[in-house]
Structure 1
Amino acid sequence: MNQTPGTPSAADLEADGPRLLERLRRLVNLESPSRDAEASARINELLAAWWRAAGAEVTLHVTPAGTHLVAEVPGRGEPLLFVGHSDTVWPVGSLDGEVPWLVDGDTVAGPGVFDMKSGLLVMLEAVDRLRGRETQRRAVRVVVVCDEEIGSPESRPLLERCCQGVVAAIGFESPHPDGALKVGRRGSTRVRIAVTGKAAHAALDPDGGASAIDELVDQLAAVRAITGDPTLASEVLCNSGTIQGGTRANVVSAHAEAELGLRFMDGRTEERVLSALRGLTPVRERAQLEVEILSHRPAWAPSAGDTAFAGTLSRLAAGLGLTLEGRPAAGAGDTNLVGSLGIPTVDGFGPVGAGAHAVTERASLASMHQRAELLAQVLLEF
Structure 2
Amino acid sequence: MTARVRRYVEHETPTGDAEALNALADLLVARYTELGGVARRVGEPTGDHVTADFPGSPGRADEAPLLFIGHHDTVWPKGQLAGPMPWQVTESAEHGTLAHGPGVFDMKSGLVVMETALEVAARAGVRHRPVRVVVVADEEIGSPTSSTLVRERAEGAFAALGFESPHPGGALKRGRRGSTRLRLNVHGRAAHAALDPEKGISAIDELVDQLVRLREVVGRHSRGVLCNVGTLSGGGKTNVVPEHASADIGLRFADAAVEGAVLAELTALTPVREGARVRTEILSSRPTWAFDGPDDPFSAAVRTAGQRLGQDITAEPAAGAADTNTAGSLGLPTLDGFGPLGAGAHALHERIVLSTLPGRAALVAAILAEL
Q: Same fold (TM over 0.5)?
A: yes
Amino acid at match of 2:154: C
Query: Normalising to structure 2: TM-score of the pair?
Result: 0.94
Query: Could you say which residue in structure 2 is the equivalent of 1:299?
Result: 288
Aligned residues: 361
Q: Equivalents in 1 of 2:55, 2:18: separation in Å?
A: 29
Tell me: CA distance 1:268–1:306, structure 2 relative to 1, closer, same or farther (3 Å). Answer: farther
Q: Secondary structure at the match of 2:229?
A: strand
1:196–1:255 CA contact under 8 A, matched in 2: yes
Query: Could you say which residue in structure 2 is the equivalent of 1:350?
Result: 339
Q: Secondary structure at the match of 2:347?
A: coil
Amino acid at match of 2:82: D
Which of 295, 307, 311 pairs up with 1:322? Answer: 311
Tell me: CA distance 1:332–1:67, structure 2 relative to 1, closer, same or farther (3 Å). Answer: same
Q: Secondary structure at the match of 2:274?
A: coil
Which of 259, 268, 286 pairs up with 2:275? Answer: 286
Query: Could you say which residue in structure 1 is the equivalent of 2:73?
Result: 87
Amino acid at match of 1:44: A
Worse-superposed segment, 72-81 or 358-367? 72-81
1:240–1:259 CA contact under 8 A, matched in 2: yes
Q: Equivalents in 1 of 2:176, 2:38: separation in Å?
A: 31
Amino acid at match of 1:239: N
1:229-244 mapped onto 2 (5 Å cutoff): 229=220, 234-244=223-233
Query: Could you say which residue in structure 2 is the equivalent of 1:174?
Result: 165
Query: Normalising to structure 1: TM-score of the pair?
Result: 0.92
Tell me: CA distance 1:308–1:267, structure 2 relative to 1, closer, same or farther (3 Å). Answer: same
Query: Could you say which residue in structure 1 is the equivalent of 2:31?
Result: 50
**CA-to-partner distance for each residue in 1:158-213, whole Å, 9 max, x for gaps?**
11110012100010111111111110000000110011111112222211100000
**CA-to-partner distance for each residue in 1:232-261, whole Å, 9 max, x for gaps?**
8x5211111111111122221111110100
Q: Equivalents in 2 of 1:40, 1:301: separation in Å?
A: 31
Q: Equivalents in 1 of 2:188, 2:361: separation in Å?
A: 57
Query: Could you say which residue in structure 2 is the equivalent of 1:27?
Result: 8
Q: Equivalents in 2 of 1:269, 1:306: separation in Å?
A: 25
Q: Secondary structure at the match of 2:130?
A: strand
Matched, 1:259 2:266: no
Moved over 3 A (4+): 132-135, 303-308
Matched, 1:125 2:116: yes
Q: Secondary structure at the match of 1:131?
A: helix
Worse-superposed segment, 314-323 or 187-196? 314-323
Query: Could you say which residue in structure 2 is the equivalent of 1:41?
Result: 22
RMSD of the alignment, in Å? 1.5
Which of 109, 130, 138 pairs up with 1:147? Answer: 138
Which of 36, 44, 48 pairs up with 1:67? Answer: 48
Amino acid at match of 2:184: I
Q: Secondary structure at the match of 2:362?
A: helix
Q: Secondary structure at the match of 1:242?
A: strand
Q: Secondary structure at the match of 1:63?
A: coil
Query: Could you say which residue in structure 2 is the equivalent of 1:5?
Result: none
Q: Secondary structure at the match of 2:43?
A: strand
Displacement after TM superposition at 1:307 (Å): 4.5
Which of 192, 209, 213 pairs up with 1:222? Answer: 213
Q: Equivalents in 1 of 2:286, 2:164: separation in Å?
A: 15
**CA-to-partner distance for each residue in 1:267-323, whole Å, 9 max, x for gaps?**
111111101011101111121111100000000102368854233212221221112
Query: Could you say which residue in structure 1 is the equivalent of 2:94?
Result: none
2:224–2:255 CA contact under 8 A, matched in 1: no
1:306–1:344 CA contact under 8 A, matched in 2: no
Q: Equivalents in 1 of 2:253, 2:296: separation in Å?
A: 20
2:203–2:244 CA contact under 8 A, matched in 1: yes
Query: Could you say which residue in structure 2 is the equivalent of 1:78?
Result: 64
